[in-house]
């Protein structure tokens, strides 16, 4: 039992503190390796492991928002790491202050030997402490530092992302026209408010958003460009350092607020604050621009009021680039690169090849140009279609759908329909086996490069006409039965994602 009466010092003995400190060290190394230093510092910096109790790893964070963010985004990952070697089957994140003050066993951003301090105090996991202990002093110190940090420093703008550098084509002309119109009218009557831009990754949302920011700044307007996670992070810091009012004032004191990647906006408090800010801006007729990877209605976990607010202005989509647009973006990039390095020459045939091979998005087009540049500067060679193909091979290959093996299909189908692999390969003709078997054959035909006879052999030595029959059968059923279509679609996604 944890000692609950105030003033009591010692609680209970579970795994030694030293062992816990080591475990925590291991978990955080894994997190760093998987998520990178930045993510870990942003979201886990203040996460503390208080102890392990009844198979539950007790973690704590300073705010409710951080709790809900970690719960929704990282709970599974944390659980997985704590489960290794049977350390803890569950993970519980609580808000500090909402639970008795404890000496944290370990802190994610503490240096390894800092973890030793509590170990030397005593062996029990939990210690009840008076609020003047070291951890509190540290917290106050931290608050002080945060108070000195500039609030809502906008994310740095990229000088290249201007309207001049934005190539307009069929799929983005409407979005571009709307963005230009908005940029022109800042400071006057907002026409489309908010302007909501959505598109898949790499199609120019950030480019257009920042182009608006540049245009407004050059007119002497006050612009704040933030990504949603920056918005959240700053709001959370402001709450912790008790400067939230300042933060809000600052938000309201601008001509144009741009929030990029708003699909990442999470957490009730943050969303509420976001909603207040949108409303305040709208009421004072100041402009707001929002970019996301999906339309407002599809923003999961976002409050309905915010969704309808976001959808209430002008909503524009940027569609996939057609080949002509890809070609023109490439040409623009190559011209820019040639200004820096006049020896960089790319024949038209190569541009045609790259524009037809890289069908994904602007980011990969950038990647392709960089590889061609590297090729020229390292090999000193002219770019030919052949050398271009080698240089950008990884970009093309990365986009090819994942190869699926018949074995994986058998495994998934048998698990999904609860029949054994042996049943699928057997000659049993009961309905509960026949349909899954046909689906497995259909998936093998559509997801692998195997021929009908090969698939037949993999399914217990069947004839290729049997496989063909199964494929046709499932195709036919999918055409008339939506539920089956969804089910097979789901299986396909599970195999290819």
Binding site for Mg ion (CB under 5 A): 205-206
- Grouping H, G, I as helix, E, B as strand and the rest as coil, residue 219 is coil
| Residue 58 interacting entry, from ligand ADP, Mg ion, none, C-beta within 5 to 8 Å by type | none
Residue labelled with tokens 């957490």: 267
Q: Would you count residue 495 as binding ligand ADP (CB under 6 A)?
A: no
Q: Would you count residue 363 as binding ligand ADP (CB under 6 A)?
A: yes
- Grouping H, G, I as helix, E, B as strand and the rest as coil, residue 12 is coil
Binding mask 153-182 for ligand ADP (x = CB under 6 A): --------x---xxx----x----------
CB of 325 to ligand ADP, least distance (A): 7
- Grouping H, G, I as helix, E, B as strand and the rest as coil, residue 303 is coil
Backbone angles phi, psi at 330, to 5 degrees: -60, -45
> Is the CB of 50 or the CB of 262 nearer to Mg ion?
262
> Is the CB of 205 or the CB of 248 nearer to Mg ion?
205
| Residue 207 interacting entry, from Mg ion, ligand ADP, none, C-beta within 5 to 8 Å by type | ligand ADP
Position among 202, 295, 312, 319 found at the interface with ligand ADP (CB under 6 A): 202
> Is the CB of 61 or the CB of 182 nearer to Mg ion?
182
Rounded Cα distance, 212 and 182, in Å: 8
CB of 381 to ligand ADP, least distance (A): 26
Number of residues engaging ligand ADP in binding (CB under 6 A): 17
> Is the CB of 326 or the CB of 445 nearer to ligand ADP?
326
| Residue 201 interacting entry, from ligand ADP, Mg ion, none, C-beta within 5 to 8 Å by type | ligand ADP
Question: 321 with 207: CB under 8 angstroms?
Answer: no
CA of 379: how far to CAs of 215, 367, 391, in Å?
40, 18, 11
| Residue 439 interacting entry, from ligand ADP, Mg ion, none, C-beta within 5 to 8 Å by type | none
Structure token pair of residue 312? 């209430």
| Residue 172 interacting entry, from ligand ADP, Mg ion, none, C-beta within 5 to 8 Å by type | ligand ADP
- Grouping H, G, I as helix, E, B as strand and the rest as coil, residue 50 is strand
Q: Is the peptide bond before 459 cis (omega within 30 degrees of 0)?
A: no
- Grouping H, G, I as helix, E, B as strand and the rest as coil, residue 235 is helix
Rounded Cα distance, 488 and 439, in Å: 8
CB of 374 to ligand ADP, least distance (A): 17
| Residue 63 interacting entry, from Mg ion, ligand ADP, none, C-beta within 5 to 8 Å by type | none
Near ligand ADP in 311-330, by CB under 6 A? 329
Backbone angles phi, psi at 195, to 5 degrees: -90, 125
Q: Which residue is at the shortest CB distance from ligand ADP?
A: 362
Rounded Cα distance, 293 and 98, in Å: 36
CB of 208 to ligand ADP, least distance (A): 7
Q: Would you count residue 366 as binding ligand ADP (CB under 6 A)?
A: yes
Rounded Cα distance, 329 and 309, in Å: 34
Question: 219 with 187: CB under 8 angstroms?
Answer: yes
Rounded Cα distance, 143 and 138, in Å: 9
> Is the CB of 70 or the CB of 292 nearer to Mg ion?
292
CB of 300 to ligand ADP, least distance (A): 19
Q: Which of 198, 321, 309 is nearest to 263 (CA)?
A: 198
Rounded Cα distance, 213 and 259, in Å: 11
CB of 369 to ligand ADP, least distance (A): 10
Backbone angles phi, psi at 430, to 5 degrees: -70, 150
Near ligand ADP in 207-266, by CB under 6 A? 207
Structure token pair of residue 268? 């009730």
> Is the CB of 59 or the CB of 289 nearer to Mg ion?
289
> Is the CB of 123 or the CB of 165 nearer to ligand ADP?
165
Residues at the contact surface with ligand ADP, assessed by CB under 6 A? 161, 165-167, 172, 199, 201-207, 329, 362-363, 366
């Amino acid at each position: 039992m944890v000692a609950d009466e105030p003033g009591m010092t010692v609680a209970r003995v579970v795994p030694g503190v030293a062992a816990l400190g080591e475990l925590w060290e291991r978990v955080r190394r894994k997190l760093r390796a998987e998520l990178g230093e930045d993510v870990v510092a942003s979201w886990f910096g203040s996460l503390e492991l208080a102890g392990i109790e009844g198979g539950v790893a007790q973690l704590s964070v300073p705010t409710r928002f951080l709790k809900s963010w970690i719960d929704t985004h990282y709970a599974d990952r944390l659980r997985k790491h704590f489960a290794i070697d049977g350390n803890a089957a569950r993970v519980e994140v609580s808000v500090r202050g909402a639970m008795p003050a404890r000496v944290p066993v370990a802190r994610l951003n503490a240096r390894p030997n800092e973890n030793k301090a509590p170990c030397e105090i005593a062996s029990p996991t939990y210690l009840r402490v008076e609020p003047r202990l070291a951890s509190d002093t540290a917290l106050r110190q931290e608050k002080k530092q945060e108070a000195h940090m500039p609030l809502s420093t906008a994310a740095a703008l990229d000088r290249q992302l201007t309207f001049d550098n934005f190539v307009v084509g069929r799929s983005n002309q409407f979005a571009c026209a709307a963005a230009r119109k908005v940029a022109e009218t800042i400071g006057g009557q907002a026409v489309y408010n908010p302007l909501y831009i959505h598109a898949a990754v790499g199609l120019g949302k950030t480019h257009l958003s920042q182009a608006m920011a540049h245009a407004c700044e050059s007119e002497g307007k006050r612009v704040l460009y933030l990504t949603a996670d920056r918005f959240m992070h700053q709001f959370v810091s402001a709450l912790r350092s008790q400067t939230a009012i300042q933060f809000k004032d600052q938000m309201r004191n601008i001509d144009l607020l741009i929030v990029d990647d708003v699909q990442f906006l999470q957490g009730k408090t943050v969303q509420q604050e976001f909603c207040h800010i949108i409303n305040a801006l709208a009421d004072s007729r100041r402009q707001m621009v929002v970019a996301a990877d999906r339309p407002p209605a599809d923003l999961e976990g976002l409050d309905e009021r915010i969704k309808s607010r976001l959808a209430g202005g002008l909503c524009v989509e940027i569609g996939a680039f057609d080949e002509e647009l890809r070609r023109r973006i490439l040409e623009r990039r190559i011209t820019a690169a040639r200004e820096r390095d006049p020896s960089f020459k790319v024949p038209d045939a190569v541009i045609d090849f790259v524009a037809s091979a890289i069908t994904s998005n602007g980011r990969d087009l950038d990647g392709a140009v960089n590889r061609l540049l590297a090729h020229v500067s390292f090999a000193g060679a002219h770019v030919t279609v052949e050398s271009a193909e080698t240089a950008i091979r990884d970009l093309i290959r990365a986009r090819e759908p994942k190869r699926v093996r018949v074995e994986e299909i058998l495994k998934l189908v048998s698990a999904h329909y609860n029949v054994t692999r042996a049943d699928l390969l057997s000659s049993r003709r009961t309905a509960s086996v026949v349909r899954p078997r046909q689906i497995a054959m259909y998936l093998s035909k559509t997801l692998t490069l195997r021929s009908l006879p090969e698939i037949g052999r993999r399914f217990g030595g069947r004839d290729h006409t049997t496989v063909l029959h199964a494929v046709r059968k499932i195709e036919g059923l999918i055409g008339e039965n939506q539920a089956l279509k969804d089910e097979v679609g789901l299986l396909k996604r599970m195999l290819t994602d």
